[in-house]
Amino acid sequence: MLFMKILWAFLSVGLLGAIFGIGLYVASRFFAVKKDERIQQVVEALPGLNCGACGFAGCESYAEAIVTAEDVALDLCKPGGADTAMKLGSIMGKEVEFSAEKLVAQVHCRGGKETAEYKFDYEGIEDCNAAMLLYGGAKKCPFGCLGLGSCIKVCPVDAIDYDEDGLVWVDRDLCISCGKCVDICPTGVMKMIPYGADVIVACNSTDKGGVVRKYCKVGCIGCAKCTRSSPDGGFVIENFLAHIDYSKKGERSAALADCPTKCIIRTVKEVKIEESAHPLEAVAAQDSHDAD
């Protein structure tokens, strides 16, 4: 009796399984939606970060748009850069020209608690846009980094963080050039620079030199010394603020050394060797640095 019961159970479940299986097969056969295979290929070629820098909701919808709509450009993926654009081109059978150098974001301000003047102590939401609603932020300088880290929150790959001086800094090797931080920054101090840029003018203030002097020790005063020290470096003074034309590949280290307010800084920080560390370790660190 028991054996029969078990057998019936097996048989009935097996029969049900068979019926559903046939049903599924029929459904997959007759209700199948034809999907372009290339969509899957494109999705695989994209980095899969879903950062939204292309203007679409994510990698999947960009891929769909590329395949279904004819006029969608193939070079919109900023994190992927030239490589991805080429891959997309080969999948879609189109010629893609991608000459632009990879851009990365960087904060053009080094005014912190010690160097910049503040109007008041800000208490409230830790968000630059929120602080901006209050008399344009706590800093006297209306152009500088407010330091509340809206960009840190919005970065999809955690490329932005406070550095050892407590100032916001972008790690250019992690940055995928999606530009989200540039969009959210209320003062416009976050700007895109070429990946290979050696120095930046870390100031965003277009006030006159005398005014800048009053509220920041490390602001650009527009003295134009950099244009004289490194005439081929592409330094241009505009609205009392030095800009760098990165298409000029000349030497910029003289300007770096001569800048009176030290607002021209390197994009890659020098490796600091802890003096208090054990002498042997310091030597080892020096060696490994040299080996690089």
Partner 1 sequence: MKRLSTFPKGGVHPPGRKHLAHSLPLQNASIPSLSIVPLSQHIGSPAECVVSVGDVVREGMLIGKPTGFVSVGIHSPVPGTVKELRRIHLPNGVQTDAVCIELAGEFDRLGKSQETVEWENMSAKELLDLFAQMGIVGMGGATFPTHVKFSPPKGSRVEFFVINGVECEPYLCADHRLMLEKIREIFEGLRVIRKILDPEQVLFAIEANKPDAIEAVMSYCRQNVLDVKVMPLHVKYPQGDEKQVLKALTGREVPSGGLPIDIGAVVSNVGTVNAIYEAVCLKKPLIERALTVSGGAVKNPANLKARIGTPVSQLLEECGGFSEMPEKIVMGGPMMGFTVLDLDTPVTKGTSGILALTGAEIRSANQTACISCGSCISVCPLGLNPRLLYKLVDHLDYGGAVEAGLMDCKECGCCGFVCPAHIPLVQGMRLGKRIHLKNRKKA
Q: Between residues 138 and 241, which has the closer beta carbon with respect to partner 1?
A: 138
Residue ranges in contact with partner 1 by CB under 8 A: 119-120, 123-125, 127, 129-130, 132-136, 153-154
| Min separation Cβ 51 and partner 1, Å | 13
3 state SS for the chain: CHHHHHHHHHHHHHHHHHHHHHHHHHHHHHCCCCCCHHHHHHHHHCCCCCCCCCCCCCHHHHHHHHHHCCCCCCCCCCCCHHHHHHHHHHHHCCCCCCCCCCEEEEECCCCCCCCECECCCCCCCCCHHHHHCCCCCCECCCCCCCCCCHHHHHCCCCCEEECCCCCEEECCCCCCCCCHHHHHCCCCCEEEEECCCCEEECCCCCCCHHHHHHHECCCCCCCCHHHHHCCCCCEEEECCEEEECCCCCCCCHHHHHHCCCCCEEECCCCCCCCCCCCHHHHHHHHHHHHHC
Q: Which is nearer to partner 1, 102 or 153 (CB)?
A: 153
Q: Could you tell me the smallest distance in angstroms from the CB atom of residue 174 to partner 1?
A: 19
Residue 152 or 236: the one with the smaller Cβ distance to partner 1 is: 152
Q: Which is nearer to partner 1, 24 or 125 (CB)?
A: 125
Q: How far is the CB of 112 from partner 1 (least distance, A)?
A: 21
CB of 150 to partner 1, least distance (A): 9
* CB-nearer residue toward partner 1: 55 or 250: 55
- Report d(CA 225, CA 178) in Å as an integer: 34
Q: How far is the CB of 129 from partner 1 (least distance, A)?
A: 6
Q: State which residue, 124 or 196, has the beta carbon closest to partner 1.
A: 124
CB of 172 to partner 1, least distance (A): 23
